[in-house]
Structure 1
Amino acid sequence: MAQPIEKTLVQFEKGRIDLKGCYKHLNDFERHRLQELWQMCIERFDTPIESLTGAKNSNISLPNIGVDEKEVSKPPKNPNAKVFMDCIYDQNVSQKVGKKLVPVDFVSTCKDNTLRSQMWESFREDVPDTLALRFLRARNWDVEKALDMILTTIKWRYMDNVEEKIFYGETLNEASLMYKGTSFIHGVDKLGHPIIWSPSAAHFQKDQPFSQMKRYLVWIMETARKFLHYPHEKVCLIMDLSNHSTANMDWPFVKMFLKYLSTFYPECLGVAIVYNGPWFFPAVFKLISPLIDPNVAMKIQFVKNEEGLLKFINKDQLIKIRGGDNNYEYEYIPPNENENIKMANLEEKQIALEKRNIIIDELTELTNKWIEAGNLTKELDSKLDNLTNPKSNNNGNNKNNDDPESDDDIDEITKKLDEAIKNELEIHQLRDECQERFAAAARNLDQYTRARSLYNRIGVLDEDNVDWSKVQKQFM
C-alpha cells in the first residue's frame, strides 16, 4: 500500500517535509506502481500526440476551463491608454523595451510529434520520476488514472505551445503584468519551499487580454519549476488579499488557475496561504470551493496577520511589508538586448541537445530493464505467497506446508526472490543516477532553449543553483 502522508500543518509544526511517495522515498508498492506507469507510457512512445489513447483506449482530450476568451477580453476604447507605468493594453515586454530581446526564432528540439519526443521534452530539467510521481500521488496511485492525467498534460503542452512560451519567456509577457508584480517568487518557507507571492490588489481583469493571463500563468509556473530541487518539489503560494476589493476579482482567471493547478501541475503545491482576506471573502471562497480539487483544498490555510504567517515562514524570509525582517521589495528589471545572446549559438545548442538525447536513450533502456526486474520480483513474490498462504490459491491444489517438497519449493523461490529484489534495486540505483545525469544535461540545454528571467538578472538563478542571499544582500 501507499504510505500515508502527514497533514500540512503537522509538517510545519515538525519542521520536516514528509517525502513519502516522492523520489528516493518509495516503498515496494509505490515503486512497482511507478514501473507500471512507465510501462504504459513506453508502450505508447511511437504514437503521435494527436492520436494518444488512455488506459481504456479512450481518446485523450483536453479539459474545458469554461471561459469564453473573446467575451472576457474587451480592449479599452482608447488603445493607447496607460495601464501601469506607461504600459499600454496588450503591450508585451519586448515592445515596451523597443528591442528584439531573443536573437533567434523558436525551433522545437523535438525530433517529431510522438509521445517519446514530447514526453522527454516535458520533463525539462526535472528528474523524470519526480514528475511522473506527481501524477500517481494526485490520483492516489491509480495507475490508469495517472496515465490518462500525464498524457492529457503532455498533449496540452504540445497543443498550447508551452515550449515556445518557455523559449521566449517574459519577453512576450504583457508588460504591465511584469511591472506590477502580479506574482513574484521570493524566499522560502520553513520547509524550504520557494514562496510565490500573489498580491491580488495589483490585478485587474480589464488591464490585459485573457490570452496574456494564460501565457503569464504558464510562465510563472514554468519559472517556479527552476526553483524546485530535491527534496523541495513544491511551492508555498501566498494569495495576499491585502487591500483586495471586488474590482480585483477575476473569475475567468480563478477558474483557469484552479484547472491548470489540479490538471497540468499536480502535487506542485506544498501549502496555499490565503492572507488577510477582506470581510466578504468567506462568501467568495464559498463560491470558489466547488472548483477546488480535494488535494489542493487540504493544503489551504487561512491567515489573518503576521503571527499567522510566521507559523509558515521564518522572519528573515518574510518580506518587511508583511511583518518580516526581509527588506526585499519587488521591482521589475526589464531584459537587456544581450542577455539571451547564448541562445543564438546553434552549434553549442546542438551539442547540448545530442548529449541529452544520448542520456535519454540510456535511460529508456535502463527503464525497460527496471520494469522487467520489477515484474520478475512481483511474479516470484506471488508464487511465494501462494505456497506460504494456501488459502489464497483458488484451485485448492496447494501442497501441505508440512510436506518436505513444499519446504524445498519455498526455500528455492525465497532464494530467487531475494536475488530478484537485489537485482531490481541495483538497476533502480543505476537508473536514479542516469535520471540525475539527464536533469544535469537538460539544465545545460536550458540556456539555449529558455530566455533569461528577472531571477537571472537579480542573481538568484544560474544554470544549476538557487541563491537567495545575493538578492537579499542588495536590500540590506
Structure 2
Amino acid sequence: MALDQPGGRPGNLTPEQELRLKELWISLYEVLGVIESDNLGAGGESPNPSKKKGRLSWLSRHSPKGSPEIGSESDMADDKHGLSKEFRRVLASQSKESIRRSFWDMTKNDNPDAILLRFLRARKWDVHDALVMMISAFHWRSVDMKVDDELVAKGEAGFLEISRSGTGTEKKDAADFTSQFHMGKSMVHGLDKENRPITIVRARLHHPGNETEKSLEMYTVFVIETARLMLRPPVDTAVSDTDSKQPIHTLMRIDRP
C-alpha cells in the first residue's frame, strides 16, 4: 500500500527546509573537522595564529542576526533546553574524530539526511538549536550510555556472560538486563498498516524495584535500537503497544531514536 510521505523528511522538503538542512550540514562539517574555518589556509594552519577560530566559528558568523554565540553567557541565559553548557563541554572534552565516529555509529543503516532532519524537526528548524541538541545526543550515546561500543556490541549474549562471571554492580546490572529478556517483558513483532514496526510491552511484568535503574535504561535503549534496524524508508517511526493487566491496549507513536 502506497503511503503518503510526511513533510520534513528526505524527498519531501520545502525549499526553506532544504536550506536549513544544508546549513546544518555545513555547521556539522565544521564541528567534525571535515571543513576548516574561512581563515585557514590550504595547509590547515592560520596565517595569523592570533586570529585562529574554533569549531563554532562558522555558526557564530552565520547565525541569524541577534542570535547569541553558542556557549556565551547570553546563550546560557536563553538556554531553554538546557543543552548549551553540555554542548560546550563536549567540544572541550572530545576530539573531532570521536564526535565524527559517534555520528556514523548513530546513523547505522539510516539516511544521514534523515538523522539531521530529525533534530531540525525537534527544534522547529532552528539550525543553532538543532546542532546543540545533536552534538549533545552524540555525547550521550557514545560517552554516557555507550550505546554502540558496549550495549549493542555485547548484546544479550555478552551481558549474560557478565551476569555469570562479573562482579559488583556490573554483574547486578547485567543480570537484571538479561532477566528482562528471559521474562519476555517486550518484543518487536510485525508491522502495522503503515509499515511501522510494532513493539509489544507487557507492562504487567514490570515491577518497580526489581531491576536496577541502569539496567532498565539499558534494556529500553536496546529495544529501541533493535526496532530502529527494522525501519524501512520512508517509514521513520515505530509503534509501542502496551499490554497491561486490563484488556486495554494503549497505542502510542514514538519517534525514531
Bin the TM-score by the shorter chain: 0.5 to 0.7
Structure 2 residue 106 is the aligned partner of structure 1 residue 122: yes
Deviations 1:426-468 (A, max 9, x none): xxxxxxxxxxxxxxxxxxxxxxxxxxxxxxxxxxxxxxxxxxx
Equivalent in 158, 177, 199 of residue 142 of structure 2: 158
SS in 2 for 1:235: strand
The aligned counterpart of 1:328 is: none
CA contact (8 A) 2:17 2:125 kept: yes
Q: CA deviation at 1:60?
A: 4.6
CA contact (8 A) 2:30 2:55 kept: no
The aligned counterpart of 1:213 is: 216
CA contact (8 A) 1:15 1:191 kept: no
Q: CA deviation at 1:25?
A: 1.4
- CA–CA distance in structure 1, aligned partners of residues 123 and 96 of structure 2: 29
* TM-score between both structures, scaled by the size of structure 1: 0.36
Deviations 1:135-157 (A, max 9, x none): 11111211111111111100111
Aligned partner letter, 2:86: S
Summarize the alignment of residues 238-249 of structure 1 with structure 2, pairs less than 5 Å apart.
238-243=241-246
The aligned counterpart of 1:31 is: 18
Equivalent in 226, 230, 233 of residue 227 of structure 1: 230
- CA–CA distance in structure 2, aligned partners of residues 243 and 175 of structure 1: 26
Deviations 1:12-55 (A, max 9, x none): xx9844421111211211111100111111111139xxx98797
Aligned-pair identity in percent equals 28
Aligned partner letter, 2:227: A
Structure 2 unaligned residues grouped into runs of 5+:
35-53, 61-68, 72-83, 88-94, 160-173
The aligned counterpart of 2:115 is: 131
- CA–CA distance in structure 2, aligned partners of residues 128 and 156 of structure 1: 19
* TM-score between both structures, scaled by the size of structure 2: 0.64
SS in 1 for 2:242: strand
SS in 1 for 2:250: strand
CA contact (8 A) 2:33 2:96 kept: no
- CA–CA distance in structure 2, aligned partners of residues 146 and 235 of structure 1: 22
CA contact (8 A) 1:42 1:116 kept: no
Summarize the alignment of residues 362-381 of structure 1 with structure 2, pairs less than 5 Å apart.
none
- CA–CA distance in structure 1, aligned partners of residues 230 and 22 of structure 2: 27
Summarize the alignment of residues 335-414 of structure 1 with structure 2, pairs less than 5 Å apart.
none
The aligned counterpart of 2:154 is: 168
Q: Which has the higher contact order (CA 8 A, sep 6+)?
A: 1
User: Over the residues paired in the alignment, what is the CA RMSD in angstroms?
Assistant: 2.9
Structure 2 residue 41 is the aligned partner of structure 1 residue 41: no
Consecutive aligned runs of 4 or more in structure 1 exceeding 6 Å deviation: 51-55
In structure 2, relative to structure 1, the CA distance for the partners of 1:143 and 1:150 (3 Å cut) is same
Aligned partner letter, 1:162: V
- CA–CA distance in structure 2, aligned partners of residues 57 and 143 of structure 1: 12
Equivalent in 175, 178, 182 of residue 185 of structure 2: 182
- CA–CA distance in structure 2, aligned partners of residues 175 and 119 of structure 1: 28
The aligned counterpart of 1:57 is: 70
CA contact (8 A) 2:32 2:97 kept: no
CA contact (8 A) 2:242 2:250 kept: yes
Structure 1 unaligned residues grouped into runs of 5+:
1-13, 63-110, 245-272, 276-295, 301-476
The aligned counterpart of 2:92 is: none
Which one has the largest radius of gyration? 1
Equivalent in 194, 199, 202 of residue 197 of structure 2: 194
CA contact (8 A) 2:197 2:238 kept: yes
- CA–CA distance in structure 1, aligned partners of residues 97 and 85 of structure 2: 15
CA contact (8 A) 1:165 1:219 kept: yes
In structure 2, relative to structure 1, the CA distance for the partners of 1:127 and 1:42 (3 Å cut) is same
CA contact (8 A) 1:195 1:235 kept: yes
